Amino acid sequence: MRRLAVFNHVSLDGFFTDARGDMSFAHNSRQDPEWDAFVEQNASESGTLVFGRVTYEMMAGFWPTPAAAQMMPAVADRMNAFPKIVFSRTLDKVTWKNATLVPGDAAIEMRRLKKEDGEPLTILGSGKLVASLARQGLVDDYHLVVNPVLLGAGRTMFEGIRDRQRLKLTGTRRFANGNVLLGYETM
């Protein structure tokens, strides 16, 4: 059975994006070699990447570019090589290497994918998709990077969650740039 994990950044006040939908707060400007090594290592262990339309378009607009290859060559190589699943009811096609478009019901397809043998599934970004799949009890693990910034307003990844979901802390890691990684699994 495959596991479904979420890897996302949040502000200290719990927002996934700011009030304008911007996520650039996650790119901390403080240099931190340990954080850079973590990002590179994490990029090599993501398995199959899972996106909603908005995050797919953002990622597909950056990672295949020469700028991405110059800025973060190892991460760009892996991002482009990984298999990718894109949930969208509005896209007609996906063009990023190794991407597959799934236009149907995300929860039904995710239940099917999780029953298969294979590498883990990792959602990056994709707040609406995270909320939708979390409401259905389909997310197994959360890896949240708390960024040292207060946004004051924005969107949470968990909009629409009505039922309490208990989580078990599986790990923490602190970085010199102020980021803190929190790992949880569903109970």
Domain membership of residue 118 (yes or no) is: yes
Residue 31 lies in a domain: no
Domain annotation covers residue 28: no
Coil, helix or strand at residue 110: helix
C-beta of residue 110 within 8 angstroms of C-beta of residue 4 = yes
**CATH code for the domain in which residue 83 is found:** 3.40.430.10
Is residue 157 a part of any domain in this protein? yes
Number of separate domains in the chain: 1
pLDDT in the model for residue 85: 98
Q: Is 141 helix (H, G, I), strand (E, B) or coil?
A: strand
Does residue 133 sit within a domain? yes
Q: Which domain holds residue 75?
A: 4-21+39-186
DSSP secondary structure code for residue 26 in this structure: G
Residue 46: the pLDDT is 73
- Is 32 part of a structural domain of the chain? no
The verdict on residue 102 lying in a domain is yes
The predicted pLDDT at position 148 comes to 95
Residue 29 lies in a domain: no
* Closest to 133 measured CA to CA, from 65, 85, 182: 85
CB atoms within 10 A of CB 137: 12
Question: What does the pLDDT profile of the chain (187 residues) look like in tens digits?
Answer: 999 999 999 999 999 999 999 999 998 778 899 998 998 888 777 789 999 999 999 999 999 999 999 999 999 999 999 999 999 999 999 999 999 999 999 999 999 999 999 999 999 999 999 999 999 999 999 999 999 999 999 999 998 888 899 999 999 999 999 999 999 999 9
**What gap in Å lies between CA 184 and CA 151, rounded to an integer?**
23
